[in-house]
A and B are shown apart, each in its own frame.
Chain A
Amino acid sequence: MRLGHVIGRVTLSKQDPAYKGGRFLLVQPFAQAQFAGAPMTPLAPGSSLVVYDNLGAGPGHVIGFTEGAEAAMPFHQPTPVDAFNAALVDQLFYNPPSR
């Protein structure tokens, strides 16, 4: 699971029925600096990705998303999903050892 900033929405006119009840979000994964509290840079190096969401996240939120085969586990039928939003993050405590 990784953390990311929601930076946008993906709107579809036609979609696989398996996606019903959710939406797709454009997410910029956290780099090391964002964990330490640096503001999000919308077009940071590293690719943003599209995440399936059924929790109700929107632009500006911080989410925890999973990738790989597990992203498709919550669906009842085999569904092509690469990333799944598992948590809306309320608070983040990050204290790397100082040296």
Chain B
Amino acid sequence: MILARVDGVIVSTVCHPSMVGCRTVICQPVDEAGRAEGAPILALDPLSAGQHQQVLISTDGSKTREHVGDPMSPLRNIILAIVDEPAKETA
């Protein structure tokens, strides 16, 4: 599980069939204080998270394959939860 902030979205026409119809967002992993950590990653967004909202991402593909209904999907990252009280950046 990764704590991340939604920083953007991608548009893709030609993609794996399991991705069709799924919103895919660009997520910036953050640390406990809300500071960016490492390079952004992509995740499916079934919860329609808003821009700059903090989310929890599962990197286990089994939940993603269950969500898209395709046991042969290559996708891994999926947003499982939207954080109510995001960690505040200190300093």
Q: Which residues of A are interface residues toward B (Cβ below 8 A)? A: 1-3, 29-32, 35, 55-56, 64, 66, 68-71, 73-75, 84, 86-97
Contacts and interface: CB of A to CB of B under 8 A. Distances in A.
Given A66-B74, A91-B11, 16 more contacts: A1-B41, A3-B26, A55-B15, A64-B24, A68-B76, A70-B74, A73-B74, A84-B74, A86-B19, A86-B74, A86-B75, A87-B12, A88-B14, A92-B11, A93-B8, A93-B11
A1 B76 CA distance: 7
A87 B9 contact: no
B75 A30 contact: no
Given A31-B39, A32-B39, A94-B26, A74 B76 contact: no
Contact of A86 (B16, B36, B52): B16
Contacts of B75: 1, 66, 70, 86
Contacts of A69: 61
Interface of B: 5, 7-16, 19, 24, 26, 28, 36, 39-43, 51-52, 61, 64-65, 71-77
A7 B45 CA distance: 29
A89 B26 CA distance: 12
A74 B73 CA distance: 6
